[in-house]
Amino acid sequence: MSIHPSEPFRIKMVEPIQLIDPETREKALQRAGYNIFGLKSDEVYIDLLTDSGTGAMSQEQWSGIMLGDESYAGARSYQRLSDTMADIFGFKHFVPTHQGRAAENILCAVILKEGQYVPSNMHFDTTEGNIRARGGRPTNLICEEAFSDDPNIPFKGNMDLDKLENFIQEVGEENIPLGMITITNNAGGGQPVSLENLRGVSEIYKRHNIPFFIDACRYAENAYFIKTREPGYKDKSTLEIAREIFSLADGATMSAKKDAIVNIGGFLACNDPALFEKIKNELILREGFITYGGLAGRDLDAIAIGLREGLQEDYLAYRLGQTRYLTEELKRVGVPVIEPAGGHAVYINAGALLPHIPQSEFPGQSLTVEMYREGAIRGVELGSVAFAYPDPDTGEMVYPELDLVRLALPRRTYTQSHLDYVVKVLERIVKKADSLRGFRIIKEPPLMRHFSCIFEPL
């Protein structure tokens, strides 16, 4: 048995959840067209759909909310956030935004022209969408180890530096208005990037005069992985590691719904004053004045406090320990999982658990539905439903390498007994895995079909 870390907090406010009966769950599934995005939250017992904006705020954050200054311009809340930003990230300029994707939208609007390339280890889907929406070409240059099933690789989120150098030579630095990296790599299982790799990436971008932006959503989790896994960082604080990370970059985008542990918010930061002028203009057009950026003053206080709490090492040890606990326990009961455990989520290899269901019949969808049917648990399919697409030349479906189901852990929200419940439900599913059937899609939108398509069981 693996050990669940002790929570470095106790519970002072509770939100009731209930387990509805199996017949009501079956009706809910039918009503939703077997798409778990169509379920009401009251129909779900353990909700592991996402870790975005679903965490629990602390007493300090809630009291910060009461101190929020709602002045339109120059609010005290903005000043407090600004001080925290300077202390942790050290960029010369920043603006708050209402989410991560708003920061991405503004950055792409001011820096990117049609036909240009934006390399990264792996773009998250909103980043990719925002680049494409401006006619740009997002390019993923993740290291080969990312696809290995060796559980002992410490930094599977790293960029392949040779690929990056070759890519820049090939398309020309003049066609790359910015370069990025995502820490931790959300689309690649929440796997971290090492500081050594970040230094290499920074050096290459600098040499080619390409501005380097970090997608910083889970920078604190990444900093703690560096502290515990990278030689030379054991005695450094996560704050010192974060400062070192961002000293290598020219700017950052962030969804504060992740490592700032708030329910809404984000930011866009940079050093270049000319770029910042353009960002300010675009922000005022789209989001709001530069000292609030589409948020209430109180939200800025919650972010300022959350950014510091997100770096606390007892919290991070608990957070990453919880993810590791669920990964190891699932493995113990025979569930194939991606290893090593990442930061924010556990990834089940549904294709390996349900080898009798072909990719065209969506093994990840089958497992997602069964987790809800068996235990009112909501995870999300990240496989052939989310990622298969028809080849533009032949029309033939191109399927992803793996059919995964992600169980994302909201921050400071569920306890060990909740996770043990998840493990028990999956243990029951493993025993009857042979009897699970696939699905057919009977209605789908043209883009991002997994959010709204309708299924029929086979």
Ligand X SMILES: *Cc1c(COP(=O)(O)O)cnc(C)c1O
Among the listed residues 55, 68, 96, 100, the single contact to ligand X using CB under 6 A: 100
- Phi first, then psi, for residue 84 (nearest 5°) are -65, -45
How would you classify residue 328: left for phi > 0, otherwise alpha for psi between -120 and 50, otherwise beta? alpha
Shortest spacing between CB 13 and ligand X, in angstroms: 24
Integer Cα distance of 339 and 152 in angstroms: 8
Distance of CA 250 to the CA centre of its chain: 22
- Helix 76-88 to helix 238-247 angle (10° resolution) is 90
Q: Name the closest residue to ligand X (Cβ).
A: 100
Q: Cβ closer to ligand X: 84 or 182?
A: 182
By beta-carbon proximity to ligand X, the closer residue of 218 and 373 is 218
By CB under 6 A, how many residues form the interface with ligand X? 15
Q: Is 215 in the site for ligand X (CB under 6 A)?
A: yes
3-state SS assignment for residue 454: strand
Selected binder of ligand X within 266, 364, 379, 438 (CB under 6 A): 266
Asked whether position 99 contacts ligand X by CB under 6 A, the answer is yes
> 207, exposed or middle or buried, with CB in 10 Å at 0-12, 13-18, 19+?
exposed
Stretch that binds ligand X, among 131-139, 150-158, 250-258, 279-287 (CB under 6 A): 250-258
Handedness of CA 338, 440, 133, 162 (dihedral sign): positive
Considering only residues 116, 182, 222, 238, which one is a binding residue for ligand X as defined by CB under 6 A? 182
Which residue's CB is nearer to ligand X, number 260 or number 376?
260
The answer to whether the CB of 230 falls within 8 A of the CB of 157 is no
Chain center to CA of 70: 30
Q: Which is nearer to ligand X, 127 or 202 (CB)?
A: 127
Interface positions, 272-331, toward ligand X (CB under 6 A): none
Window of 54-62, 71-79, 93-101, 358-366 that interacts with ligand X by CB under 6 A: 93-101
Q: Give min distance, CB of 57 to ligand X, in A.
A: 16
What does each C-alpha distance from 233 to 203, 224, 237, 448 come to in angstroms? 20, 9, 8, 40
For residues 197 and 159, the answer to whether their CB atoms sit within 8 Å is yes
Residue 186 touching ligand X (CB under 6 A): yes
Q: Which of the residues 115 through 134 are near ligand X (CB under 6 A)?
A: 124, 126-127
Which listed residue (35, 52, 222, 327) binds ligand X by CB under 6 A?
52
Residue 191 touches ligand X, criterion: CB under 6 A? no
By CB under 6 A, name the binding residues for ligand X: 52, 99-101, 124, 126-127, 182, 186, 215, 217, 255, 257-258, 266
